[in-house]
Structure 1
């Protein structure tokens, strides 16, 4: 399950995986972001707020996740992965092969820095 919030004034989608990811989660995300992208052309960023990564419910869920990424990857400027878990820490290196968005990892306690970076794209100290 994914909790999600679209910060419309900033063009930032905040996603918080709280349980194994299901196909319906990504269908709900599409319904949330597609109208915004249709109106504004893009998202400024996506904040993945995941203290830990719960994995996928099944193979269909993983495929739906991949389709979501492929459909939106050229419409997102930046992605911030906020997590202390090793899997998401390597996300920026892996993402370079699959997405055009700039991807950065932040430690879990650096959520505010991650959000500031998404908003501006500037280095945040």
Structure 2
């Protein structure tokens, strides 16, 4: 396990459609969420009924520390009803299990993929 950690985010908006791409690296910490939460809040501000599709690359993701896990839960509770599709691309069985748990907090669909092109194709479908 390395000390390198972070979440990289790219957000594209067109009218009420929002596409977010995340790359999670290492074990996420509270300060990682302090950086991305305002970006997500700003992207969704002023849109009454956003349609949010999300692509998460978790191939370098190792998990959360306790505070970051709480931050992730709060983020899901705050914005989860706005999420239309969440595609998680990963390479660990526990990530697939977490995608099923994440589905409880999202009004749309959450799916796990072991091929990135399959994940993108599903989001575009």
* Fold agreement, TM-score > 0.5: yes
In structure 2, C-alpha distance between the alignment counterparts of 1:102 and 1:115, rounded to whole Å: 14
- Report the 3-state secondary structure (helix = DSSP H, G, I; strand = E; otherwise coil) of the residue aligned with 1:39: coil
| Greater strand content | 2
- How many correspondences in the alignment? 117
Q: CA deviation at 1:89?
A: 1.6
In structure 2, C-alpha distance between the alignment counterparts of 1:8 and 1:27, rounded to whole Å: 22
- Report the 3-state secondary structure (helix = DSSP H, G, I; strand = E; otherwise coil) of the residue aligned with 1:18: strand
**What stretches of structure 1 move > 6 A for 4+ residues in a row?**
none
Listed as ranges, the gaps of 5+ residues in structure 1 are none
What's the C-alpha RMSD, in Å, of the aligned pairs? 1.9
Q: CA deviation at 1:116?
A: 2.9
Counterpart in 2 of 1:112?
117
Equivalent of residue 30 in structure 1, options 26, 31, 37:
37
In structure 1, C-alpha distance between the alignment counterparts of 2:83 and 2:101, rounded to whole Å: 17
Counterpart in 2 of 1:68?
75
In structure 1, C-alpha distance between the alignment counterparts of 2:38 and 2:103, rounded to whole Å: 26
Q: TM-score, normalised by structure 1?
A: 0.79
Equivalent of residue 12 in structure 2, options 1, 7, 15:
7
Q: TM-score, normalised by structure 2?
A: 0.79
Listed as ranges, the gaps of 5+ residues in structure 2 are 1-5
